[in-house]
Amino acid sequence: MSTVENQLEELQSTIESEVPNDITITEVRYEGPELVIYTRDPKRFASDGDLVRQLASQLRKRITVRPDPTALSSPDDAEAEVTEVIPDEAGVTDLDFHIDTGEVVIEAQKPGMVIGRHGTTLREITQETGWTPEVVRTPPIESSTVKNVRNFLKQERNERRDILERIGRQIHREEMSDDQWVRITTLGCCREVGRAAFILSTPETRVLIDCGDKPGSEDEVPYLQVPEALGSGPSSLDAVILTHAHLDHSALVPLLFKYGYDGPIYTTEPSRDLMGLLTLDYLDVAAKEGRAPPYESEMVREAIKHTIPLEYGDVTDIAPDIKLTLHNAGHILGSAVAHFHIGDGLYNVAFSGDIHYDDTRLFNGAVNDFPRVETLVLESTYGGRDDYQTDQKDSERKLKHVLKNTLERDGKVVIPAFAVGRSQEIMLVLEEAMRKGELPEVPVHLDGMIWEATAIHTTYPEYLRDDLRERIFHDDSNPFLADQFNHIDGGEEERQEVADSGPCIILSTSGMMEGGPIMSWLEHVGSEEDSTLMFVGYQAEGTLGSRIQNGRREIPIGGRNGRGSSLTLNMDVKTVDGFSGHADRQGLENFVQTMNPRPEKVLCVHGDERSTQDLSSALYHDFNMRTFAPKNLETFRFL
Amino acid sequence: MSTVENQLEELQSTIESEVPNDITITEVRYEGPELVIYTRDPKRFASDGDLVRQLASQLRKRITVRPDPTALSSPDDAEAEVTEVIPDEAGVTDLDFHIDTGEVVIEAQKPGMVIGRHGTTLREITQETGWTPEVVRTPPIESSTVKNVRNFLKQERNERRDILERIGRQIHREEMSDDQWVRITTLGCCREVGRAAFILSTPETRVLIDCGDKPGSEDEVPYLQVPEALGSGPSSLDAVILTHAHLDHSALVPLLFKYGYDGPIYTTEPSRDLMGLLTLDYLDVAAKEGRAPPYESEMVREAIKHTIPLEYGDVTDIAPDIKLTLHNAGHILGSAVAHFHIGDGLYNVAFSGDIHYDDTRLFNGAVNDFPRVETLVLESTYGGRDDYQTDQKDSERKLKHVLKNTLERDGKVVIPAFAVGRSQEIMLVLEEAMRKGELPEVPVHLDGMIWEATAIHTTYPEYLRDDLRERIFHDDSNPFLADQFNHIDGGEEERQEVADSGPCIILSTSGMMEGGPIMSWLEHVGSEEDSTLMFVGYQAEGTLGSRIQNGRREIPIGGRNGRGSSLTLNMDVKTVDGFSGHADRQGLENFVQTMNPRPEKVLCVHGDERSTQDLSSALYHDFNMRTFAPKNLETFRFL
C-alpha cells in the first residue's frame, strides 16, 4: 500500500476520533492541496461552525467537507430549499448541482449575501439540503472570458477531479531526501525586462515561477531547454506558480503543457482568467502577424484546467517540503508576491513578481509583511538611480488639465492604453473627476480588450483596493458601471459615429500603438488639430508610440493590405507620466526598508543591467544586506 | 548525408589537392579528436617529413597517417625490416602488428631511440615497411598495472576503434546554437576537500571535470543526480576530463559508465594507469570493509577503454566549440591543469586541479602560462591565512636528521605514506642522501602499493621533473632502480625477516594508518624503543595516524577477525612537515600573481570553508580580481 494510502487511513481515523460519534465519515481523499472529507452527515457537520476549523488547525491541512451521495436530497428538492434560504437581494443567477461531489455552485450578483456573516448562510444551506455550496460572483459587466472559463471548467469537471487527485497524491508523497538545500535558478528576466522564469529547487521539489515572453523579441524565450529547467523532463517539475497575468510572466505557461507538463499552476482566480484572455490574444496577434504561434489554443485550456486558484493569504502545501502563500502585489488585478516556506522552518523565499509599493486607485500597495523571509527576489524595472516617477497626485492633476483643455475646445482625447491595469486606473480618475465636476461629463469610449479586462476586474472586487471594494460591495456605486463608459462593440461603423460626434475620451489598445484599434482611431481623429493624443504609459524604443513621442507626425496606415499609405498627425501630442504599475526606485527601496522581517539576501531581477546593478548596490549600501544582480542561467544556493 | 560525412568528403578533397599527385588517399575518418588519413602510399608520405605537419596546421586538426591495408608488407617481412631499422640499444621488447589499421606497436626500453631525432627513425620505419609505428616504453620496473592496461587495450582494439569513431563524429558535429554563454556548475569540493566534480557548459556542449569521492565520508558523493548533472541523462555529457588520479578526483569516474555514460575520458596516460590502480584498490578496500562497492571492476575497464590520453600541451578538439589542453600541475604523476578554449576566441577557463607551484624533486612546478584565460578555478587546500608550510630544504634536513639518529642507534624507521606521490618524493631524498653519504646505506623496504606506483612512475619519465627525466634518459642512473629499494612481495614472512634484521627504512601504506600493511609493521616493530614512526603527510582528524600524533600509544590490532587485542607503541613518534603535494598559501598566491595572463575571475574551491574564503578575499584584495568561494550546487555564468 502506498504511503499516501496509509496517510489517508490515519487521517480518517484521527478525524473519526475527533468528530462527534454520530457523524459518519465515508471517505477521506486529497484533491490538490485540499483534504476532502466525505460524510453521510453533512448537516451535522454544518451545524457545528467550528468543527472544520478545528480539524484544519489540528491536521494542518485545508479541509473541504462534502456529502456522501447517499446523504443528498435531489437537485430539484435542493434547488427549492437553496432558493428559500438565500435572500432575494443576493441576486442568484445560476444554480449548478454536481451529484458526484455533492457540490452546488451558486452564481450570484452579491456573493456576500449567499455566504452570510461568518458563513452562516452557507452553513444553513448545508444544514437544510446536505449539499456543499460554492459561491461565485455574477460578473456585473458581462465577461465572455469569465463565462468561457466557468463553462469550460464545468464541462471538464470529471477530468479535473482526476487531475486534482493525482496532484494531491504528489503533494503529499513521502519526503525522500536527507539532504537540505534551497536553490534558485534564473531562466530569464535577469539584466533584462521580459521572459520572467525562475526555478526554485530543493532536494525534494522543483517549482517554476512564471514563464513569460520578452516583448519586442520573438527569439528570446526563457531558457527552458537547459538541463536544470526541462532538460530532465517536464514531469520533473512539481508545480508552476504564476505571479500575475502579464505576458512577460505568463505567455509561455501554456507551452509547458505542449512540452508534456501536466502538473498544477498556482495563481489567483483573476490571474487565471486574465491569463486566458491575454494568451489567447497573444496567439491571435501571432497569427495575424503571420508568425507560427508557439502553441495552440488547446494548450491555454489545458493551463486553465490545471490551475489551482489560491486566495491571498492562503497557506498551501504544494509539495512535501514547500508551502506557498500568495500576497497582494499591487501591480495588476490578481498580481501576487509569492512566498515559499521551505521545510519545517528551514528557509523562506519571497518572489516579488511585479510590485507597486504605494496604494494606487485600483489596488492596495504590495504586501511586505511575512512570518519569515531570508531571501527576496525583487523586481527592478525602475531600480536605476534616477528612476523616480512623478507623484500620482501631480500626474492626475496634469492628466485632468490636458483633458479639460482639449474637451473645452471641443476636441477629443485619444489615449493608447494597455488593456489590463492602466486603463482601469485612468477610468477611475475620469469617473471621479466627472462625478466631482472637475471634468465635463463626456462619453468615455473603451476599445479593444479594455472593456473585457474591465469586466474581469468587476468580477473580482475582492482583489481591488479596500475603499474601492467597499464602494462596490456596499454602496452599489461601482465606478466601472458609470454611465459615461461605452463599450465600442460596433466596429468601424461605431468608431465613425464617435468620430463624427462631439468631444469625448477614447481609451484604446494597443498601449504602444503597435497595431490594434488605436490605429483606426488615428485614421478617424488623427487629422483634428483640436484633439489630443495622450500617452500615459511607457513607450518602448522602436514602437510607433515612441516615434510619435519623439516628434514623428507622418503615420503609416493600412499597411496590412499592402497599400502602404500614410496620414499626417495634426493632433496635439502629450505625455503624462506617473501611472506605472511598477514601484519606482523610491518605492522599491521603501518596500525593502519597511519589509518585515528584513531579508538577508536580495536578488535584483526584472530590470535592465543598469537598473538591477544600481538597485543591488544601493540596497547593499543602505541596508547592509547581501545583494546580487544575477545573470540568466545562474544558480544560487542558499543554506 | 550527415554533415560529418560532408565534412570528411571536403577534407579528403583538400588533402588530395595538397599532397603530391602520386599519393593516393583512400579514406579519411575521425577517430576521437584525430583525423586519420588512409593512403596507398604511406612510404611517400613518410618521405616528406613536413607534409603531415603542414596538413595539420592548415586543417587545424591532429592528423595520423595510416597505410591502406593493400599497401602493407606482411607482418613477418615487416618485423625483419623494423628490427633492421631500429638500433639494438633501443631494447625492443615487443612488436605487435595490427593489420586492420596498419599500425605496429613497438615496446622498447628506450623509446627515444625508436623515434630518432625529430622522428627520423619512425619515418624510416614507415618508408621501409609501410607500417605506422606507435612507440611505448617497456616499464623499467615491471608494472602489473601497465601490463594489464596495455593487454586489455590490445584485446579491445576493435571495440575501441568503434568507440573512437563514434566520439570523433560527436566531436566534429555541426554547431547547433546561436546563443553564447559559458557556465560552471559546482557538483562537489566546494567549501570542502573531496568529491571534486564540476560541469563546464555552453549552449552546445557539457563536460564533466573530475568525479571523486570524499575521503572519510561514504555518503557524500558528487551531486550527480541533480538535473544539471546527469538528470538529463548521461548521454547529455560530451566528455569527462580527469585532472589527476587521486581518488577524491577519480573514484567515481567508472560509476559514470554504470550509469550509462559511454563518451570519452580525457586525461594523461599515467593518470589513466593510476586511475586503474587506485579505483581497483578502492573497490577492494570497500569489499574488505564489508561495504557494497558503488560499481564493479568491469566499469574500471570501461573507463580505461574510453580514455583518450593526451600529452601536456596537446591542443585537442573535444567538442565543436571546445578545445582542451592539459598542462603539468606538479601535484602527482600525470596531474594536469585543464585549460578550455571555448568558441573561436570567445572565452577561456582553466581548472587548476590540485597543484604544486614550486618544483619538487619529482615534478616541475605547475604551469601558469596560457595563451588566454579569463576564469581560473583554483584549488585552495592550503588557502587559509596561516597555511604556510616549511620550506622543502628544511623539511629534508629534518627528515635526514631523524633518520640518521634512528639508524645510528640501530633502530628502524617506519614511514606511513600514500602510494602515489609522497612515497616517490621520499625515495628520491633517501637515494640522494645515501649516494652522497649523508645517510648510511640501509635497505629501504617498500610495502603496499608503493612499489607498483613507483613502477608506473618509471614507465612515464616524460612526466617527471626535467633533471630527473634527463638522469633517467641519458645517464642510466634511474634513482628508483637504486639497489637499496626492496619490494616487500613475500608477505608476513618477509616482514618478519625484515623485523628480525638490522636498521632499515620502511615505507608502507596506508598513509593515514587506516588499515593496509602499515598495521603489520606496527605489530612487528611497534614495541621497539629504538625505532621511529615518522609521519610525512597530512593525517586527517579521526584517523589512527592523527590519534598517534596526538599522543595515543595503545593501538588496536587484529580487529578484523573480531578478537580485538591491542599493542603498546614504544617507538619514537616524529612528524616532518613540508612534503605536501599541494601548493601552500604562498604557492597559491604566487601561482596567481605570476599567472600569464592574469585571470579576471577566480573561483576558490577544494578547501574547507575558511581556506576558500580566506584565499578568495586575499586574491580580491591583492590582485583586484573578482573572486568567489562557491558552494556546491551553484552555477556561475560567464559572458
What does the pLDDT look like over A441-458, one tens digit per residue? Answer: 999 999 999 999 999 999
Q: Which domains can be identified in chain B, with CATH numbers?
A: 37-148 (3.30.300.20), 174-386+582-638 (3.60.15.10), 393-575 (3.40.50.10890)
For residue A560, pLDDT beyond 70: no
Residues of A in contact with B185 (CB under 8 A): 635
Q: What is the pLDDT of residue A92?
A: 95
The mean pLDDT of A571-581, rounded to a whole number, is: 92
Contact A231 B232 (CB under 8 A): yes
For residue A22, pLDDT beyond 80: yes
For residue A561, pLDDT beyond 60: no
Cell of B630: 562557491
Let me know: does B125 contact B86? Beta carbons within 8 Å.
yes
Residues of B near A (CB-CB distance < 8 A)? 181, 183, 185, 206, 226-229, 231-233, 236, 631-637
Let me know: does B18 contact B48? Beta carbons within 8 Å.
no
C-alpha B264: how far from its chain's center?
Answer: 16
Q: What is the pLDDT of residue A559?
A: 52
Let me know: does B35 contact B64? Beta carbons within 8 Å.
yes
The mean pLDDT of B365-382, rounded to a whole number, is: 97
For residue A48, pLDDT beyond 70: yes
Please give the Cα distance from A473 to A111 (Å, whole number): 10
Q: What is the pLDDT of residue B326?
A: 98
For residue A49, pLDDT beyond 90: no
For residue A292, pLDDT beyond 60: yes
Contact B231 A226 (CB under 8 A): no
Residues of B in contact with A204 (CB under 8 A): none
pTM of the model: 0.91
List, in order, residues 6 or more apart from A71 with CB less than 8 Å away: A39, A40, A41, A42, A43, A102, A130
What does the pLDDT look like over A110-159, one tens digit per residue? Answer: 999 999 998 899 999 998 888 999 999 999 999 999 999 999 999 999 99
The mean pLDDT of B398-417, rounded to a whole number, is: 96
Q: What is the pLDDT of residue B231?
A: 85
A524: enclosing H helix or E strand: helix A518-525
In A157-279 the beta strands, taken as DSSP E runs, fall at 182-188, 197-201, 206-209, 239-241, 265-267
For residue A370, pLDDT beyond 60: yes
Give the pLDDT band of residue B470 (cuts 50, 70, 90): confident
Mean pLDDT of chain A: 93
For residue A587, pLDDT beyond 70: yes
Number of alpha carbons in the 13 Å side-chain half-sphere of residue A320 = 15
Give the pLDDT band of residue A231 (cuts 50, 70, 90): confident
The mean pLDDT of A508-530, rounded to a whole number, is: 93
List, in order, residues 6 or more apart from A475 with CB less than 8 Å away: none
Please give the Cα distance from A313 to A321 (Å, whole number): 18
For residue A476, pLDDT beyond 80: no
What does the pLDDT look like over B73-84, one tens digit per residue? Answer: 889 999 999 999
Q: What is the pLDDT of residue A198?
A: 98
Instruction: Nearest chain A residue to B635 by CA: give it.
Output: A635
Please give the Cα distance from B171 to B321 (Å, whole number): 9
Burial of B343 per CB tally in 10 Å (0-12, 13-18, 19+): middle
What are φ and ψ of residue B239, in 5° steps? -160, 155
The DSSP string of B272-303 is: HHHHHHHHHHHHHHHHHTTPPPSS-HHHHHHH
How many other β-carbons are positioned within 10 Å of the β-carbon of residue B59? 14
Size of interface A-B (CB pairs under 8 A): 52
Burial of B100 per CB tally in 10 Å (0-12, 13-18, 19+): exposed
| Edge-to-edge strands, sheet with A62-67 | A25-31, A34-39, A62-67
Number of H helices, E strands in chain B: 21, 28
C-alpha A144: how far from its chain's center?
Answer: 17
Please give the Cα distance from B351 to B241 (Å, whole number): 10
The mean pLDDT of B545-558, rounded to a whole number, is: 89
For residue B379, pLDDT beyond 80: yes
Contact A231 B236 (CB under 8 A): yes
Residues of A in contact with B227 (CB under 8 A): 206, 227-229, 231-232, 236
Contact A635 B634 (CB under 8 A): yes
Cell of B365: 612546478
Q: What is the pLDDT of residue A564?
A: 67
The mean pLDDT of B465-489, rounded to a whole number, is: 89
What is the residue type of A560? R
DSSP single-letter state for residue A569: -
Residue scoring higher pLDDT (A604 or A233): A604
Please give the Cα distance from A106 to A96 (Å, whole number): 7
For residue B476, pLDDT beyond 80: no
Instruction: Nearest chain A residue to B636 by CA: give it.
Output: A634
The lowest-confidence range among B151-160, B379-388, B473-482 is: B473-482
Residues of B in contact with A636 (CB under 8 A): 634
What is the residue type of B474? H
Residues of A near B (CB-CB distance < 8 A)? 181, 183, 185, 206, 226-229, 231-233, 236, 631-637
Please give the Cα distance from A625 to B629 (Å, whole number): 18
What are φ and ψ of residue A593, in 5° steps? -60, -40
The mean pLDDT of B121-132, rounded to a whole number, is: 91
The mean pLDDT of B220-239, rounded to a whole number, is: 92
Cell of B356: 604544486
Q: Find the CB nearest B232 among A227, A634, A636.
A: A227
The mean pLDDT of B144-167, rounded to a whole number, is: 95
The mean pLDDT of A603-629, rounded to a whole number, is: 96
- Tell me what percent of the residues of chain B surpass a pLDDT of 70: 98
The lowest-confidence range among B43-52, B305-314, B379-388 is: B43-52
Find which of A292-296, B86-90, B267-271 is predicted with most confidence, using mean pLDDT: B267-271
The mean pLDDT of B81-106, rounded to a whole number, is: 93
Cell of B194: 573531496
- Tell me what percent of the residues of chain B surpass a pLDDT of 90: 82
| Edge-to-edge strands, sheet with B532-535 | B485-487, B444-447, B505-508, B413-416, B532-535, B572-575
What are φ and ψ of residue B517, in 5° steps? -60, -20
Contact A633 B631 (CB under 8 A): no
Classified as helix, coil or strand, B639 is: coil
Closest CA to B223 of A118, A177, A25, A262: A177
DSSP single-letter state for residue B70: G
Cell of A32: 490538490
Q: Write the CA distances from A257 to A231, A242, A309, A386, B461, integer angstroms.
A: 15, 14, 18, 41, 59
What are φ and ψ of residue B285, in 5° steps? -60, -45
Q: What is the pLDDT of residue B473?
A: 78
Q: Tell me what ipTM this predicted complex has.
A: 0.86
The lowest-confidence range among A35-49, A502-516, B479-493 is: A35-49
DSSP single-letter state for residue A284: H
Residues of B in contact with A375 (CB under 8 A): none
The lowest-confidence range among B135-139, B288-292, B521-525 is: B288-292
What does the pLDDT look like over B284-317, one tens digit per residue? Answer: 988 988 889 999 999 999 999 999 999 999 999 9
Q: What is the pLDDT of residue A563?
A: 58
For residue A2, pLDDT beyond 80: no
Q: Which residue has the cell 558503488?
A: B294
Residue scoring higher pLDDT (A312 or B220): A312
Give the pLDDT band of residue B45 (cuts 50, 70, 90): confident
CA-based nearest distance A224→chain B, Å: 12
Q: What is the pLDDT of residue A589?
A: 97
Instruction: Nearest chain A residue to B638 by CA: give it.
Output: A631
The mean pLDDT of B406-419, rounded to a whole number, is: 96
Q: Find the CB nearest A181 among B229, B633, B637.
A: B633
How many other β-carbons are positioned within 10 Å of the β-carbon of residue A89? 9
For residue A562, pLDDT beyond 60: no
Look at phi and psi of residue B564 and say left if phi exceeds 0, alpha if psi is from -120 to 50, else beta: beta
DSSP single-letter state for residue B214: B
Give the pLDDT band of residue B1 (cuts 50, 70, 90): low
Closest CA to A139 of A90, A97, A93, A96: A93
The lowest-confidence range among A498-507, A555-564, B59-68, B350-359 is: A555-564
The mean pLDDT of B89-118, rounded to a whole number, is: 92
Contact B632 A633 (CB under 8 A): no
Q: What is the pLDDT of residue A538?
A: 79
Give the pLDDT band of residue B559 (cuts 50, 70, 90): low
What does the pLDDT look like over A177-199, one tens digit per residue? Answer: 888 999 999 999 999 989 999 99
Contact A633 B636 (CB under 8 A): no
The mean pLDDT of B541-562, rounded to a whole number, is: 81
What are φ and ψ of residue A620, in 5° steps? -65, -45
Residue scoring higher pLDDT (B634 or B233): B634
Q: What is the pLDDT of residue A465?
A: 96
The mean pLDDT of A404-419, rounded to a whole number, is: 96
